[in-house]
Amino acid sequence: RLCGLDLDKVVIVSGIGCSGRVAGYIKLDSFPTTHGRAIPFATGLHLANRRLKVVVVSGDGDLIAIGGNHFIHAARRNVDLTVLCINNFNYAMTGGQLGPGTPIKAVSTTTPYGNFENPFNLPALAASSGAVYVARWTSLHVRRLTKSLVEAIRKKGFSFVEVIAPCPTLYTRRNKLGTSLEVLDYYREKSEIRHGADPNGAGIEFGGKILVGKFVDVDKPSFLDNLDESMRRALGDAYGLGKESYMRPAGQRALVDREARHE
């Protein structure tokens, strides 16, 4: 409602993982999908009915590991989706294994002596792939996060918001970060708000500062803007901009095909 949208035209798509059940707790039409496939499913919804506002909610493993290819290409195409990534730094639902965002030296089930793999910097990945809106907050920054989500949902194109969230059962316990309340104190101590900061400098080191804020907010044509322009050049007035279907009637297709053969 803060976005001024008709709630009947808003759809939540979730993936698999600890955040996968979030769709069931939101009073909106929702679709839980298979592992790593939230973004292509959401893309299909958007292309089938452009009047819908589609919001993807999932975790770092689902979006960036198994679904990483879909993530970068949806951002590259600038598909009009809002993607909310809840990053708890591990595969928590399956036992706390190493994930693509696990910081160097952090302990997980599969790295009991500390992670030795370089993690993804999610804001930098989103920005370099083409996202028009990129922000990061922690679960402590509720009001600032709410404002960013409103901005991201209103933004035309691929918008991305990362939320650093605790995993009290596995990640925080293994890394001796304390209780959930103590983790929120940790976020308060380590977070540094820097709007407009270069996303390339937003990497997270274990025990280091957590850069938060709105990093990217730019405008450029969306995937459907470019598609409409391409179809208009090809079909002229025969192409109805804004229609849900891009398919020409059979008779019109036959006429175009005949004209093409005679050229």
What residue spans define the domains of the chain? Answer: 7-217, 223-262
Supply the DSSP string of 126-161, one letter for each residue: HHHHT-SEEEEEETT-HHHHHHHHHHHHHSSS-EEE
| Window from 9-18, 37-46, 194-203 with minimum mean pLDDT | 9-18
Strand stretches in 207-250, DSSP E: 210-217
pLDDT digits (tens, 9 = 90+) for 122-151: 999 999 999 999 999 999 999 999 999 999
pTM: 0.89
Strand stretches in 88-228, DSSP E: 90-91, 97-98, 133-138, 159-164, 191-193, 210-217
pLDDT digits (tens, 9 = 90+) for 29-88: 999 998 999 999 999 999 999 999 999 999 999 999 999 999 999 999 999 999 999 999
The answer to whether the CB of 44 falls within 8 A of the CB of 80 is no
Question: Using CA atoms, how far apart are residues 90 and 70, in angstroms rounded to an integer?
Answer: 20
Long-range contacts of residues 185-188, Cβ cutoff 8 Å, at least 24 apart: 187/138, 187/139, 187/140, 187/141, 188/140
From the options 3.90.1150.10, 3.40.50.970, 3.40.640.10, 3.40.190.150, give the CATH code of 7-217.
3.40.50.970
pLDDT exceeds 90 at position 239: no
Query: For residue 57, with 0-12 CB atoms within 10 Å meaning exposed, 13-18 middle and 19 or more buried, which class applies?
Result: buried
pLDDT exceeds 90 at position 99: yes
Question: Using CA atoms, how far apart are residues 113 and 2, in angstroms rounded to an integer?
Answer: 45
